[in-house]
Amino acid sequence: MVRATGNGGESPVRLSVVVMAKDEAHNISACLASVDFAGERIVADTGSSDNTRALAREAGAEVVDLRWQGFGPTKAKALALAKGEWVFSLDADERATPALADEIFSAIRRRNDIDGYEIPRRSFFLGREMRHGGWDRDYVLRLVRRGVFHVTGSAVHERIVVEGRTGRLFHPLDHHTCPRFASYLAKMDLYSTLAAQEIAADPSRRAGVAVGLARGFVAFVKKLVVQRGWRDGAHGVVLAVSSGYERFLRYTKAGLIRGGHDVFSATRLEETELDTPGGGEGDEPR
């Protein structure tokens, strides 16, 4: 568990937005424009080689260079940079809609004992909004009162946890993930490697090709049939097949790792955002 309490004392800034980014030149301008209502916007850059920093500064954001230390620790350090009374954690491929912006301001002006708000996320896969298959408006805790939250993180998941009451907002946060299938394949490969390393390190968990086939088939059926992914057409079918394949990969890789064949590299994971809803085996790259 990593604390991310920010600076102490009273703050004249009501709302801070913090965006973690690396090589997000294609996303950062639109992301920051969607939150230009915030009193403070911070881009925590973890080593961009493109013009992400320059574009962020042009948009009026403060840019801070952070050394990558894994998802949880790095996010904790990024959020601790905020000076606002409230902190809105955003990914570079996400956009706050105007309706959400109004709702956020209304929420943080209320005098109540709510210390954090979950926001429904509307996800777009290969350019299409996904309404089924488990991608329909999952709730993510992103708006938190400074000083009363911490960030937990393992190799695969990181999550903001509020030490108080939470509420929910109504209007969605738009998530434009994986506009190209190649980027989704790369994200899936990296995600399955991280998950495989966790599985391999836990002797209570089974691994290997047979387990991977069984888990992959179950994941495919769940996405396509149980969660009605077929209703999203070809995009839903592609997502269901990909989900099953990723599950097959993680357990097969784990078996190979246990057998001494760890040929999977995850040293450049910071280049790919693995933004997951958290909370168990059902998680997948988004």
Average the pLDDT over 136-141 and give the result. 85
List the single range of 36-45, 162-171, 271-280 with lowest mean pLDDT. Answer: 271-280
Domain boundary among 150, 177, 204: 177
**Are 143 and 26 within one domain?**
yes
3-state class (DSSP) for residue 150 = strand
Query: DSSP letter string over 6-37?
Result: ---S--S-SEEEEEEESS-TTTHHHHHHTTTT
**CB distance 230 to 241 below 8 Å:** no
User: Cβ neighbours of residue 110 under 8 Å, at least 6 residues apart?
Assistant: none
Q: Is residue 36 part of a domain?
A: yes
| pLDDT tier for residue 56 given thresholds of 50, 70 and 90 | very high
**Are 81 and 148 within one domain?**
yes
Query: For residue 265, which amino acid is it?
Result: S
**Are 194 and 159 within one domain?**
no
Measure the CA–CA gap between 224 and 219, rounded to whole angstroms: 9
Measure the CA–CA gap between 100 and 51, rounded to whole angstroms: 28
Indicate the helix (H) or strand (E) that contains 63. strand 62-65
Q: Is residue 31 part of a domain?
A: yes
**Are 31 and 169 within one domain?**
yes
Could you give the percent of the chain with pLDDT greater than 70? 86
**Are 199 and 116 within one domain?**
no
**CB distance 32 to 24 below 8 Å:** no
Mean pLDDT of the residues in the chain: 85
| pLDDT tier for residue 286 given thresholds of 50, 70 and 90 | low
Q: Is residue 285 part of a domain?
A: no
Measure the CA–CA gap between 240 and 147, rounded to whole angstroms: 40
**Are 172 and 187 within one domain?**
no
Phi then psi dihedrals of residue 145, to 5 deg: -80, 130
Q: Is residue 25 part of a domain?
A: yes
| pLDDT tier for residue 179 given thresholds of 50, 70 and 90 | confident
Q: What is the 3-state secondary structure (H, E, C) of 208-264?
A: CHHHHHHHHHHHHHHHHHHCCHHHHHHHHHHHHHHHHHHHHHHHHHHHHHHCCCCCC
**Are 202 and 153 within one domain?**
no
Find where tokens 């790369």 sit.
186
Q: Is the pLDDT of residue 185 over 90?
A: no
Domain boundary among 130, 161, 177: 177
Q: Is residue 141 part of a domain?
A: yes
Q: Is residue 42 part of a domain?
A: yes
Q: Is the pLDDT of residue 134 over 60?
A: yes
CATH number where 68 lies: 3.90.550.10
Domain boundary among 151, 177, 203: 177
263 or 194, greater pLDDT: 194
Q: Which domain holds residue 234?
A: 181-271
**Are 32 and 132 within one domain?**
yes
List the single range of 6-20, 146-160, 178-192 with lowest mean pLDDT. Answer: 6-20
What is the predicted pLDDT for the residue at 149? 92
Indicate the helix (H) or strand (E) that contains 174. strand 173-177
User: Cβ neighbours of residue 3 under 8 Å, at least 6 residues apart?
Assistant: 76, 80, 150, 151
